[in-house]
Chain A
Amino acid sequence: MRSFATKRWAGIEGLTLLVVAIGVLTTSSGLILAGIIGFGYAAYTKLWDAPVADVSIDRELGDEAPAPGETTGVTLTITNTGSKWLSDLRVIDGVPPALETIDGPARIGTSLRPGETTTCHYTVSVVRGKHTWDSLRLITRNPSGSRERETVCEVSTTLRCTPPLHAGANLSLHGLTTPYSGRVTTDVGGYGIEFHSTRAYRSGDPLNRIDWNRRARTGTLSTLNFREERAATVILLVDSRKEAYVAAEPTGRNAVERSVDAVATIFSSLISNGDRVGIATMSPTECWIAPQSGKTHTARVQEALATHPGLAPTATEGTLYHTLWFNRFIRRLPADAQVVFCSPFVDDRPIYTARRLHAYGHLVTVITPDETTADTIGDRIAAIERQHRLQTLRGNGIRVVDWGDEPLPTAVMAATQRWSQ
């Protein structure tokens, strides 16, 4: 970038001329001599340009793969590799937008002679995701500060923070199941635990399913049927459109981050129960992992939750063409799949999505992180609108887990109790 004048010395020439003029008019040699000092300053501001920052910068992370909630140190080492003295150098690091500096500023103001090195250290608080540092901004000034120049320096650094998958919330699924055994209780009689019905004995029925009490009472043989427990196919869908990146606190965890946390918890819970689980996003950067089970699949999902741009902790640019997205999504969705939809429901688009999925025969359960507050009139209106949307969903027979400040398992348990009433 070209240097530019800061104009911080603007007016020095005028003052000098005034002093000299008064000196000439009053024939005072002292004032004329004093004016010479002013001319010296005026010349000083014009003498040098802001130097080009010819430096080498190294960025080092304390831990390149910390766990969510941990902190990690960042050390910048700046060396003047040019031949010019950088009398006034300011270096501002490009901390990733999702990370917050908690110790020390991510910048330094210094003066570097040729070959001299300085360091800057700060600590960031880490959240889930793949975080890439932006360019460093180097600002140099000439000694008088009359000219300034900005240079951008690329130093590639990436920090990966993968959330652990641990089951916590046992979400009660709908009865839409696959032929495989699992934990969802069905209305089909067969093998299981819970009593379903009795039927006439057929040759070959196992002895432990014969109703011996009835045999003793009536003399006829009959067989006990239990409710079969089968596995479900579930898609965990995250609303990560730009609109969904809302938070009750400006720098707090946003709704998409909470949705991804919910997906991580529910995924591990379902997969450990033998269900086939997949991941999808409703976002411009689409993410689709087909429902499967097994360790490889779990590892793939864990990686996607950490690094997929569609699940980034801050909003990404791009436009979502909803109709196109929905058509593609519905084509991919297995016929027997049910959907767990995580969205803050701050606009009407998620309602439309949930209702259409429901209409297509895919049972939908909504988990909605509540980011509304009552701080301003606008926030209160948004809270009422959200309440109305959730009521509309419930009216359509869609299960809703309204997730406030409490832990997710508590919210799920409360919702499950409501559903069973």
Chain B
Amino acid sequence: MSTTAQRLSVGWVAVFGVLTIGVGFTALLVADVSELLTLTGTFLTLVGLFALVQGVRYTLSGKETDRAHITLGDPEQRKAAPSPGSALTDDVAVIVAGGRSAANRRRKLRTKLRALAVQSLVARRGLSEQNALSKVDTREWPTDRLAVTFLSNTPYPPRDRVRAVLFRQSLDRIAIDRTVTEIETLWNEDEQQQLADRRTK
């Protein structure tokens, strides 16, 4: 039985007890009342009250009971394969939601994105690993304010915090998104350059 139902039943019993004692005393003091309390009437009233209490108890417990059934599944659908970044997408969702493991996942994702940024700078800009690391550490790269803040693990600027609160956005989500965009730009620089060259020709 649930706590609410238990409290209610105890309350009913208490009320019933108080009423019974009250009626008993009244019958002792007032003769007209004692004439009204016949054996049959009293018995029926007691049965009715008892049934009422039990009825309320059963109804309340029934209302709170979880219905059970067998899950049928969906055999008609082909078994779904995850997308290559599904685990990372889940991590971002946890970070944005701010659950218990959010801080841990945020730290891991930041480490991953930092490593990816350094690797991308080495691969696309031809920097040495030391130089690439230095560019990230000294905030020379990336240029986006929030991406820099995310990669360097420093508190977000107050104006961005205010804006995020006003627009009900997650600053972590925006910062991660912008960091990824900055790394993507490194990989798309050649294509963008080629497009620009074609336009000038």
Q: Could you say which interface size class chain B belongs to? A: 35 or more
A-B contact count (CB 8 A): 194
> Residues 39-70 of chain B: 1 if any A CB is under 8 Å from the residue's CB, otherwise 0?
00000110111111011111111110111111
Kindly list 16 other residue pairs between chains A and B, CB separation below 8 angstroms, not including A93-B75, A101-B77, A384-B184. Answer: A14-B55, A21-B55, A25-B48, A100-B77, A101-B76, A106-B76, A148-B68, A148-B70, A247-B80, A251-B77, A252-B81, A346-B84, A376-B85, A379-B84, A380-B180, A382-B88
Chain A positions within 8 Å of B177 at CB level: 377
Are A377's CB and B44's CB within 8 A? Answer: no
Q: Which residue of B lies closest to A247 (CB)?
A: B81
How distant is the Cα of A5 from the Cα of B62 in the complex, in angstroms?
Answer: 13
How distant is the Cα of A186 from the Cα of B59 in the complex, in angstroms?
Answer: 88
Smallest CB–CB gap between B158 and chain A, Å? 25
Chain B positions within 8 Å of A379 at CB level: 83-86, 88-89
Chain B positions within 8 Å of A330 at CB level: none
Chain B positions within 8 Å of A148 at CB level: 68-70
Contact A383/B77 with A21-B48, A24-B47 known, Cβ cut-off 8 Å: no
Asked if B113 lies at the interface with its beta carbon under 8 angstroms from chain A, I say: yes
> Residues 87-119 of chain B: 1 if any A CB is under 8 Å from the residue's CB, otherwise 0?
111111000000000000000000011001001
Ranked nearest first, the 10 interchain pairs of A and B with the lowest CB-CB distance are A11-B62, A14-B58, A378-B89, A378-B88, A17-B55, A14-B59, A382-B85, A378-B85, A18-B55, A24-B48
Chain A positions within 8 Å of B48 at CB level: 21-25
Asked if A404 lies at the interface with its beta carbon under 8 angstroms from chain B, I say: no
Asked if A107 lies at the interface with its beta carbon under 8 angstroms from chain B, I say: yes
Interface SS of chain A = mixed
Select A384's contact among B49, B80, B187, beta carbons within 8 Å: B187
Chain B positions within 8 Å of A99 at CB level: 78
Asked if B147 lies at the interface with its beta carbon under 8 angstroms from chain A, I say: no
Asked if A95 lies at the interface with its beta carbon under 8 angstroms from chain B, I say: yes
Asked if A15 lies at the interface with its beta carbon under 8 angstroms from chain B, I say: yes
Are A381's CB and B61's CB within 8 A? Answer: no
Asked if A246 lies at the interface with its beta carbon under 8 angstroms from chain B, I say: yes
Which residues does A use to contact B, with CB under 8 Å? 4-8, 10-25, 27, 90, 92-95, 97-101, 105-107, 122, 134, 137, 139, 148, 150, 245-248, 250-252, 254, 314-315, 344, 346, 371-373, 375-388, 391-392
Are A139's CB and B70's CB within 8 A? Answer: yes
Are B55's CB and A4's CB within 8 A? Answer: no
Asked if B155 lies at the interface with its beta carbon under 8 angstroms from chain A, I say: no
Chain B positions within 8 Å of A105 at CB level: 76
Chain B positions within 8 Å of A90 at CB level: 72
Chain B positions within 8 Å of A137 at CB level: 70, 72
Are B49's CB and A21's CB within 8 A? Answer: yes
Q: Which residue of A lies closest to B180 (CB)?
A: A380
Chain A positions within 8 Å of B63 at CB level: 11
Select A250's contact among B54, B58, B80, B176, beta carbons within 8 Å: B80
